[in-house]
Amino acid sequence: MVSDVRFAELTTLHVGGPIERLVTGTTQRDLVDLAREAWSSGAPWLVLGGGSNLLVGDDGFAGTVVRVATRGIEVLPGGDDGASVLLRVQAGESWDELVAFTVDRGYSGIEALSGIPGSVGAAPVQNIGAYGQELESTLVAIEFLDEFADEPRRMTAAELELGYRTSVLKRGLPGIVISIELRLHDTSAERAVLGEALGQPIAYGQLADALHVQLGDRVPIASVRQSVLALRAAKGMVLDDTDLDSVSAGSFFTNPIVSERVSRTLPGAAPRWYLAPDEPDAVLPLAGGLAQSPLDEFLALEASFEASDTVTDAGAGEPLVKLSAAWLIEQSGIHRGFTLPGSRAAISSKHTLALTNRGGASADEIVQLARFVQHRVQAEFGIVLHPEPVLVGIEL
């Protein structure tokens, strides 16, 4: 029997069809038991947090959706080394409420990630980032329940292979993030001297401008949060019931990473950022070598796909360059507010990278618009834009 809940009610894009079976874990024990029950049924399953990075098709999902609603923020005893604190946070906590909690306490390290919608458990999935900070710089480990495992195990941040809006979780390692551990800077000693808690050095030009400081300066942590929230609101990038531009999944496309050679084919005005040289390639064991665990096999396999998936035509050792997806879209003739004739999906009126639902759009209308943007950019610049949200029942 199909439940009467649709993804449209549980995602920030407000699109997506019916959910066959929806279960909600409010305690860690519940969550583990519900997941194991779903896995043992053999039917398809999907984890759901706040639904802010998901585009689900109009046909919905024929399987079990496990919604994560566990709560709890702990400052771990013994984790305080005088300069930093260790926090364990349950996956169902709201990410932004966590940031507000840390800012109130004067713990710095995630203040620039204020206003990102969604749950704590989804944060490592795409290594959330904004305004010069990424989760990666504070994440120590996660508690992870592998598909078919009886109990959660600890995975260190290094094992997650976090990258620009990606991780082994986003690339398909099946399971559920149960909780995360973060190490944040404890500013209390500094506060005793200065009278206020300072955030981490500002690492994003637009944020520095808004705060009237230089890159690398430190300002009160509460001001960083306030400025980031204001900047985000001006772009429709905080959820707001009165702002149709926020009915989105955030940035719909990632910034493409291409070889320097490909980047030279673009007009001189195209924004570009050189990336630090790559780590040396992992050496994969020869067939018949040492036995690998299922996790090792998965990591080796997906590492071999990753390079070709995200990087366009880069020879070994060639420098890589990150491009601006927003610039490419605008320069291909698609402007803010753009919509296809008769469609209820539109480019945000504040930000070219967000695809929005102007009221009653179907998933298919969002998909048509996304394909149009991809085709325009590819026709103009030969560059393929990749979607940032997780797609379910949809291919682009």
Ligand X SMILES: Cc1cc2nc3c(=O)[nH]c(=O)nc-3n(C[C@H](O)[C@H](O)[C@H](O)COP(=O)(O)OP(=O)(O)OC[C@H]3O[C@@H](n4cnc5c(N)ncnc54)[C@H](O)[C@@H]3O)c2cc1C
Catalytic status, residue 251: yes
The 8-class DSSP code of residue 98 comes to: H
Residue closer to ligand X, measured from CB, 150 or 288: 150
Catalytic status, residue 52: no
Where on the chain is the footprint of ligand X (CB under 6 A)?
12, 46-54, 68, 91, 116-119, 121-123, 125-126, 128-130, 169, 176-177, 237, 239, 246, 248-250, 390
The helix/strand/coil state of 324 is: coil
Q: Which of 6, 105, 165, 225 is catalytic?
A: 165
Residue closer to ligand X, measured from CB, 28 or 246: 246
Amino acid at 189: A
Contact assessment for residue 171 and residue 127, using Cβ atoms and an 8 Å cutoff: no
Token pair belonging to 200: 């981490």
Q: In whole angstroms, how close is the CB of 361 to ligand X at the nearest point?
A: 15
- Distance between CA atoms of 353 and 243, rounded to whole angstroms? 16
> How would you classify the pairing of strands 139-146 and 175-186?
antiparallel
Q: How would you classify residue 114: left for phi > 0, otherwise alpha for psi between -120 and 50, otherwise beta? A: beta
Handedness of CA 203, 206, 211, 215 (dihedral sign): positive
Residue showing tokens 């195990």: 153
Contact assessment for residue 255 and residue 322, using Cβ atoms and an 8 Å cutoff: yes
Catalytic status, residue 143: no
Residue closer to ligand X, measured from CB, 20 or 190: 20
Q: In whole angstroms, how close is the CB of 396 to ligand X at the nearest point?
A: 15
Contacts of 211 (CB under 8 A, 6+ apart): 202, 217, 219, 223, 224, 227
Residue closer to ligand X, measured from CB, 126 or 227: 126
Residue closer to ligand X, measured from CB, 123 or 314: 123
CA distances from 198 to 129, 206, 328 (A): 20, 19, 36
Residue closer to ligand X, measured from CB, 248 or 332: 248
E strands, 138-213, in order: 139-146, 153-156, 175-186
- Distance between CA atoms of 178 and 145, rounded to whole angstroms? 7
Which residues are the active-site residues? 165, 251, 388
